[in-house]
Amino acid sequence: MRKLIKGIFLNPKTDYSVEVLNNYCILINNGIIEKIEKDIEINEIQFDVFYDFEDKIIIPGLIDLHTHIPQFRAIGIGKGELLEWLNDYIFPLEAKFSEKNFAVDSTELFFKDLISKGTTTAVMYSSPQKQACEIAFEIADELSVRSFIGLPLMDRNTPDMIIQNTEQVIKDIFSIADKWHKRNKCEFVLSPRFALSCSDELLRRVGEIAASDGFFVQTHLAESKKELQEVKLQFPEVENYTSVYDKYNLLTSRTILAHCIYLNEAEIEKIRDRNCIIAHCPTSNKFLRSGIMQAKKYIDCGLKVGLGTDVAAGYSLSMLNEGMEACEVSKLLSVQNDEPNIVIEADTAFCLSTIKAAEYLGISEEVGNFEIGKKFDAAVFELAEVHKSAELKEEEYLRALMYNIDKRTAKSVFIDGNLVYHK
């Protein structure tokens, strides 16, 4: 099946630039990009279906490096800082996922919203029950989302309703991974929720599994000041929070660390040495009053930084929104610290949520931008009326798209060249 797609393509590059392909056509053959050409003569091309998106903006499918499936129902309604918010709103909600119908309905709602926002690849936590994690994989697979999903591990400092037994959860890891790891577009991710929720024994075992089986690892690091104080109390023998994970060999080039707001120079150095990935979640960090991560500083010193919506502390699954927030909080940090060079520009934020994230996940030969030979994962968005009628300069298209907060929902979304969503 050959499909011809026409519109204004924004094509992110590995050097953080964005190419504007205005009035271009992309020809896809069985989901793979075969041609990218301007002013193509439609009559001279053989195709089965033609999608003429006219003045709409077409971007590569967005990549969310950190979010939580079960928390989708709690968007916006909680309050307080991290530890109290988890106890008051999130743990009781995740406990409800032991009920199968609730888990299925909630998970479907999450994935449908995710796709409608143009996200085609995501790294996620399920609810902590084995069944909830399996349901997440089943629905992700059914909807064709490129999915990296982990069962959050929590065998201490956790309410009885969701606490896990160490031995049992290790068995659950293998059972879920046996069924779902590298099946179709799914990968299993080892997911110690955060240091405070895991016993030394659990962290040790997970570190061993990561080393022997090569899974991605995801966890939270240095998100809030109170969390840092607690980590100091619970792990008095280690010099800092990052060292807790390092002690158990959990810091590798396939480890995704969410937040990383409060890191000292030694920790930054360690994360760079271990080549870990950082998921910057600016919306969540505002919502929980956690702080502002120094994203530009990390990027400039060679750390691998991507973006995550961190729903439900983040209050939208839109990665365009997250990109905009990354820019906006960097401006606040810049003016507050009187450092003009730490502002994140829109093109950088866009690359972080597309091609750079694809590189970190090892899938950039398949997706992440528009190149011949890659799969066609893409989302089509409409510009605001006021911008449609304006004569935009090429470099203005991306900001017109990213700051169009009234139109976060895509018109159409493609995965592997298949139209999976259309409004």
Stretch that binds Zn ion, among 11-19, 24-32, 303-311, 345-353 (CB under 5 A): 303-311
- Please, which residue, 310 or 322, has the CB nearer to Zn ion? 310
Which of residues 94, 246, 310, 347 is near Zn ion by CB under 5 A? 310
Minimum CB distance to Zn ion, residue 242 (Å): 17
Closest among 377, 378, 397 to 387, alpha carbons compared = 397
Instruction: Pick the closer one to Zn ion by CB: 4 or 221.
Output: 221
Strands 2-12 and 18-29: antiparallel
Measured from the CB atom, is 94 or 310 closer to Zn ion? 310
- Cα separation of 160 and 171, whole Å? 20
- Smallest separation (angstroms) from Zn ion to the CB of 126: 12
Provide, rounded to whole angstroms, the least separation between the CB of residue 159 and Zn ion: 18
Closer residue to Zn ion in complex, CB, 8/114: 114
Report, in Å, the least distance between residue 365 CB and Zn ion. Answer: 28
Residue 33 CB, nearest approach to Zn ion (Å): 33
Contact 58, 7 (CB under 8 A): yes
As a whole number of angstroms, the distance between CA 338 and CA 56 comes to 38
Identity of the residue numbered 298: Y
* Direct distance between the N- and C-terminal alpha carbons of the chain, in angstroms, rounded to an integer: 23
Q: How far is CA 315 from CA 74, 137, 309, 319, 351, in A?
A: 9, 23, 8, 11, 22
Q: In the Cβ-directed half-sphere of 203, how many Cα atoms lie within 13 Å?
A: 20
Segment interacting with Zn ion, rule: CB under 5 A, options 184-192, 288-296, 306-314, 321-329: 306-314
> Nearer Cβ to Zn ion, position 69 or 139?
69
Smallest gap from residue 123 Cβ to Zn ion (A):
10
Select 310 or 377, whichever has its Cβ closest to Zn ion. 310
Number of residues engaging Zn ion in binding (CB under 5 A): 1
Q: Which is nearer to Zn ion, 114 or 367 (CB)?
A: 114
Given the complex with Zn ion, which of 153 and 378 has the nearer CB atom? Answer: 153
Q: Binding of Zn ion at residue 227 (CB under 5 A)?
A: no
Cβ at position 220, least distance to Zn ion in Å: 6
Binding string, residues 119-158; x marks residues near Zn ion by CB under 5 A: ----------------------------------------
Nearer to Zn ion, 134 or 310 (CB): 310
Return the range that interacts with Zn ion (CB under 5 A); candidates 40-48, 178-186, 208-216, 302-310: 302-310
- Asked if residues 72 and 317 have their Cβ atoms less than 8 Å apart, the reply is yes
Which stretches of the chain bind Zn ion, using CB under 5 A? 310
